Amino acid sequence: MLGALEDPRPSVRLRAAMAVGTAPGPNWVDRLVERCAIEPEFPVREALTWALTRHPASMTVPALLREVRAAGAQARSQALHTLSKIGDRRAWPAITPALLSDGDDEVARSAWRAAVVLVPEGAEAELATALLTQLGRGERETQLSLSRALIALGEPAAAAVRAATTDPDPRVRAHALATQRLRRDPDAGFAFAIEEAGRVVALGTADR
């Protein structure tokens, strides 16, 4: 099975990951985590994450927390993604401001998603404040991820997003407005929301 996880054929690696998840064991955790850091195929990475979720959190969380501090961006991103799937709030202290503002967009997006899942009750407003520093960042996919995270936090983030609609930076204002629109009308789609917000900012008006 170890050899199958490193087979050059993605289909073989996928089957191996699924097999490990079907019959989990303590000797697999470190190997699965290591493979997550270098696996090039998204479906295989998802299978690896699923296999890890099939193991006890007492075994997987410590290994993933070590990986969150790794040098490689994929290692950090995949570890955060897996922690969000496990949902063990003992991992919350690992969600640092540095991760929430990581220079790699994929790592930052994974950190935002994990943070929303792991945030302890009562810490939502503090998390919202940290996430607001990322408004206006990146391309549309990154901005949509941040908007979804802020919306998922509910009321603790709503007032802060509303305040950001008057930010001096037009990209921040537009992103905040788009987040508000998406919160009110999830079916409208983010592309429409960000385009409409851009028009509002260009016209110098506010959407309350």
How many structural domains are present in the chain?
2
**Of 135, 120, 117, whose CA–CA distance to 81 is shortest?**
117
Write the DSSP assignment of 157-179 as a string of letters: HHHHHHHHTT-SSHHHHHHHHHH
Same domain, 104 and 152: no
In a domain, 184, yes or no: yes
Q: Examine the fold and report which residue of 118, 151, 170 is the final residue of a domain before the chain moves on.
A: 118
pLDDT of residue 69: 93
Does residue 208 carry a pLDDT above 50? no
Residue 130 lies in a domain: no
pLDDT digits (tens, 9 = 90+) for 95-110: 999 999 999 999 999 9
Say what the pTM is. Answer: 0.88
24 found inside a domain: yes
Residues 142, 111, single domain; the answer is: no
Q: Give the closest residue to 170 by CA, choosing from 130, 129, 125, 206.
A: 206
The rounded distance, in Å, linking the Cα atoms of 78 and 37 is 7
How distant, in Å, are the alpha carbons of 102, 127, 172 from that of 72?
12, 25, 29
Separation between Cα atoms, residue 84 and residue 158, nearest integer Å = 23
Distance from chain centroid for Cα 109: 4
The token duo for 117 is: 């899942």
Least confident of 67-71, 176-180, 190-194: 190-194
The angle at the Cα of 124, spanning 119 to 128, to the nearest 5 degrees, equals 110
